[in-house]
């Protein structure tokens, strides 16, 4: 299959000075807001081509398939652009949890009346095991 032509709407996106656009991911079924991350053009094209949400991480300075480590991919149902085209909304089916801290949504904390943050979400997976338990266990301290 020949590569698809560059989708026309990419020229409409109001990329910021770093060539990025904020992307909000929403649960397509429930409307729950799951996370916000950044996309560059490549991430948006890969999202369109694969049907799985891709992002650009500023801290890691590379593109990123959501779920590449955790398996917690986001199967895209639709992509929306806001009125002035400077925010993207992705409606998706979330496998597992969106948040790398173990919650379904990154917005698992609420500002309480006393000004503190209170956890209002329930953990849906063991973040330590998912993100740090994949490799071989470290050798026992007194092994050998």
| Residue ranges binding Mg ion (CB under 5 A) | 59
**Residue 13 binding partner per list Zn ion, ligand PRT, Mg ion, none, with a CB distance cut-off of 5 to 8 Å that depends on partner kind:** none
Beta strands in the chain (DSSP E): 21-27, 33-39, 54-57, 62-65, 74-81, 88-94, 109-111, 117-119
Q: Cβ closer to ligand PRT: 6 or 49?
A: 49
**Segment 32-51, which members bind ligand PRT (CB under 6 A)?**
35, 37-38
Distance separating alpha carbons of residues 37 and 143, to the nearest angstrom: 43
CB closer to Zn ion, 15 vs 107? 107
102 binds, among Mg ion, Zn ion, ligand PRT, none (CB under 5 to 8 A by kind): none
HSE-CB at 22 with a 13 A cutoff on CA atoms is 7
Q: What pairs with residue 26 in β-bridges?
A: 33, 91
Chain positions 53 to 112 lying near ligand PRT, rule: CB under 6 A, are: 57-60, 66-70, 72, 98-100, 106
Contacts with 16 (C-beta within 8 Å, 6 or more apart), sequence order: 86
Q: Which residues bind ligand PRT (CB under 6 A)?
A: 35, 37-38, 57-60, 66-70, 72, 98-100, 106, 131
């Amino acid at each position: 299959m020949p590569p698809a032509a560059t989708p026309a709407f990419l020229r409409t996106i109001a990329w910021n000075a770093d060539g990025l656009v904020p992307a909000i991911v929403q649960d397509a079924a429930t409307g729950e807001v799951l996370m916000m991350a950044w996309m560059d053009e490549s991430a948006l094209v890969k999202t369109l081509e694969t049907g799985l949400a891709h992002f650009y991480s500023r801290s890691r300075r590379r593109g990123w398939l959501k779920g590449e480590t955790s398996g917690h991919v986001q199967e895209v149902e639709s992509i929306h652009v806001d009125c002035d085209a400077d925010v993207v909304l992705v409606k998706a089916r979330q496998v597992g949890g969106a948040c790398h801290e173990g919650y379904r949504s990154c917005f698992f904390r609420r500002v309480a009346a006393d000004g503190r943050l209170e956890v209002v979400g329930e953990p849906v997976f063991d973040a330590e095991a998912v993100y740090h338990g994949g490799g071989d266990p470290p050798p026992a301290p007194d092994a050998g």
